[in-house]
Amino acid sequence: MTEPLVSVIIPTYNGARFLGRAIRSVLNQTYSNLELIVVDDRSPDNTEEVVKQFNDPRLSYFRHEVNQGASAARGTGRRHSSGEIIAFLDQDDMFHPEKLEAHVTFLKDHPEVGFTYNPYFELVHSSEEVRTVWQPPRDISLAHLTLGFYLPPSSWVVRREWAVQEEIWDSHGRLNGKEIIICGRLFMAGCKFARIDRVLHSRGYHAGRRFKDLEKNCEEELICQETIFSDPRCPADVLSLRPIANMVINLMWANDAFNQNETALGQKLLRKALQANPGMFEGHPSMFMSFLMGYCVDDESQDYEVILKKLFSQFPPEVPDADAKYRWAIPRGYLVRGVRALIWNRPADADTYFSKALEHKCEVDEEIIQQATHELLGYELSRGTDAASEMLVTLCSRFAQVGNRRDANWLKGSYWVNKANQDYQSGRREAVPGAILSAVVSRPGYLFDRGVLATLVKSMVGIKSVAGR
């Protein structure tokens, strides 16, 4: 049987210094029956020279006469493609060597699936070092696709019959955030999405990046969200999330405005977020603080306290207890950065961050445990269970220093019980009893947790069913 042709489309604009790396990552795939289409959106740099350095008949180059935006460039590539399967890659991202082979194999085994995606590495800003593994939801929903960018284009691998539907692409001309529309419309049209449980590409970030027309970008993304909400196919349970979805977009761009010292705009967008969801300051931690923490922690090219101080100094008076929130956020951010640096083999950074967390007397609570567990599960997905088990021991010793032995056992139990759930969902039921036993040894209270016991029982029934065939 002839292997299906895969078309890979790279839209590019002024990205010559990254483009060669992206192109090589496609041409060096273990799956070779591919065509690579680079669409230059009228770049002012030497993009064309970079492309012409590659002497490979599978590579084609097209250039727009007028700059039209990344989404239009993807559309151009799609119209010039011939593949039965179409994959997308942004200019500053990289495919891992087995990316296409893994997706093609999955699609051949699951003909009912039209769209596949995978977890991916997020890199430290302006670096090729790993910051974390982003894990999009295994069972993704329209709510996920509408609330945020869980599926950046470098994740998309789509069967041609879905990718060529004009209704998916056609809307409102050139808008920032059209990924929301494209994925949302595919979902509502009946396309079945599926996650491949492997880390298969890397996403690059740039330190010091500045955005033009922040308010316009925010308004365009809200239009993209509203395009899905106003679609008659959008179900009521998703429509009910409109306030939170509006809050997320406004908060994201408010943070960027504050980071660029556009104080008035940042305050305006923050107030819009509060108007969309008046409860965003409620709880401990609140939605607002959880969102803010993620934003400040991610860019490790900047000092964490400097970022935090810059943002808090520009907040309007509507932010309650700002001083207390600031003091609370400092040690937690350092602890999250320390966990990531330790896991991804940046020991000097890890020592610095854990020392700062200890200095500021970080308190370990359930959200911190969940964050560390999530980071460990991402590591396990990339490096395997044995490596993750070893890293768990190392990380627990740090948690015992920052907090106490109870906190270390809390982390152990959380990791193993979440791994048990993950193994069950992935069909690895034989691994569930051992993981739950490890969880109970660390935190005996799990013996009385109905959810944990239910997972154990269901896994045992599944194992017996398979054994009885």
- Does residue 59 lie within any of the structural domains? yes
Q: For position 173, what pLDDT does the model report?
A: 61
As for how many domains the chain has, the answer is: 1
Phi, psi of 10 (to 5 degrees): -115, 110
Give the ranges where 7-59 is alpha helix by DSSP (H). Answer: 16-27, 47-52
Separation of alpha carbons 300 and 358, rounded Å? 19
Average pLDDT of every residue of the chain: 93
CB 384 within 8 A of CB 376: no
Q: How far does CA 415 lie from the centroid of its chain?
A: 20
- Does residue 142 lie within any of the structural domains? yes
Run of H or E including 37: strand 34-40
Q: Locate tokens 């015992």: which residue?
A: 400
Separation of alpha carbons 218 and 236, rounded Å? 24
Residue whose C-alpha is closest to residue 151's, from 97, 201, 96: 201
Q: For position 467, what pLDDT does the model report?
A: 46
Run of H or E including 10: strand 6-12
Locate 321 and state its tokens.
């207890």
- Does residue 239 lie within any of the structural domains? no
CATH of the domain at 156: 3.90.550.10
- Does residue 393 lie within any of the structural domains? no
Beta-sheet strand order (sheet of 120-123): 94-95, 201-203, 120-123, 130-134
Spatial neighbors of 318 by CB under 8 A, at least 6 apart, are 270, 271, 274
- Does residue 149 lie within any of the structural domains? yes
- Does residue 210 lie within any of the structural domains? no
- Does residue 105 lie within any of the structural domains? yes
Q: For position 468, what pLDDT does the model report?
A: 47
Separation of alpha carbons 193 and 113, rounded Å? 6
Q: In a 3-state reduction of DSSP, which class is residue 195? A: strand
- Domain of residue 111, residue span: 6-203
- Does residue 379 lie within any of the structural domains? no
Instruction: For 102-117, write each residue's pLDDT tens digit.
Output: 999 999 999 999 999 9
Q: For position 469, what pLDDT does the model report?
A: 45
Locate 202 and state its tokens.
């890397």
Separation of alpha carbons 237 and 146, rounded Å? 12
Q: How far does CA 316 lie from the centroid of its chain?
A: 30
Q: In a 3-state reduction of DSSP, which class is residue 129? A: coil
Run of H or E including 428: none
CB 400 within 8 A of CB 408: yes
Question: Which residue numbers in the chain have pLDDT < 50?
Answer: 466-469
Instruction: For 13-31, write each residue's pLDDT tens digit.
Output: 999 999 999 999 999 999 9
Exposed e or buried b for every residue in 227-262, given b needs 16+ CB within 10 A?
A: bbeeeeebeeebeebbebbbbbbbbbbbbbbbbbeb
Q: For position 461, what pLDDT does the model report?
A: 78
Locate 364 and state its tokens.
């370990």
